[in-house]
Amino acid sequence: MKKAVSIFSVLGLFWVGPVAADSADEILGSIDKNLNYEKRYTRATMTVTKPRRTKVYELETWGRGMDTAATEFHSPRRDAGTKMLKKGGELRMYMPSIEKVQRISGHMLRQGMMGSDLSYEDLLQFTGWRELYTAKVEGEEPCGESSCWKLSLTANRKDASYPTRTVWVDKSTRIPVRQELYALSGKLLKTWTMEAPQKFGARWYPTRMVLEDKLQEGTRTVLEFRDLQFEAANFNETVFEQRWLER
């Protein structure tokens, strides 16, 4: 009996191991492990390039889980002091020039955050992929110096911003290094790349993201993270309170 168990164990190792590593669902799970967090703090530079001009924003963000996040813009001068608070499915923005809080809803959600290629809806739906999508491995492709799985993702929910995505996931870091985001009609809406991954404890996390809105010609948004801290981040959680917005 003991012998039989050990044979099954060995077979199990050989059999279950590769399937777990290659299954689309497991890949999504490992992406979520990398990108999702309990706590996160970062300072970032967001460079928004349009055909005629480029704007550079300095910002600070605090995150608790995937559904609570606060952001404060420090520059340029006209946007300094602008704050955003995401709580669950709601997004509120404090505008210092009128000292008022605006709830971002309806058609405004589809607009780019501060004119960038990242929409407010992207911010709200930045939750676990495993829950949001059903994935299928389309194959493997080289990506840079590494090798990637090519996945096609189909949304499980009707309210997903992007009903389908094609994602290239780096096998070594489990980071979606390139994404193509499609509308229900099949039209390519955006591309999103995650670059310069760094190891933070057990997770890999990109320190540079590039988004391009394919519905607009010549636009590009580059997000560069500095001072990234995850679970060990030490910050005052009052930033997640409504009062912080108007303070």
Q: Site residues (CB under 8 A) for other proteins?
A: 48, 50-52, 55, 78-79, 93, 95, 97-100, 102, 104, 108, 111-116, 217-218
At 155, give phi and psi (nearest 5°). -70, 140
| 53 versus 199: smaller Cβ distance to other proteins | 53
We find the least distance from the C-beta atom of residue 193 to other proteins, in angstroms, to be 21
Burial 180-195 (b: 16+ CB within 10 A, else e): bbbeeeeeebbbbbbe
What HEC string does 12-69 produce? Answer: HHHHHHHHHHHCHHHHHHHHHHHHCCCEEEEEEEEEEECCCCEEEEEEEEEEECCCEE
| 120 versus 205: smaller Cβ distance to other proteins | 120
| 114 versus 181: smaller Cβ distance to other proteins | 114
We find the least distance from the C-beta atom of residue 79 to other proteins, in angstroms, to be 8
We find the least distance from the C-beta atom of residue 218 to other proteins, in angstroms, to be 7
- Count Cβ atoms below 10 Å from residue 78 Cβ, excluding itself: 11
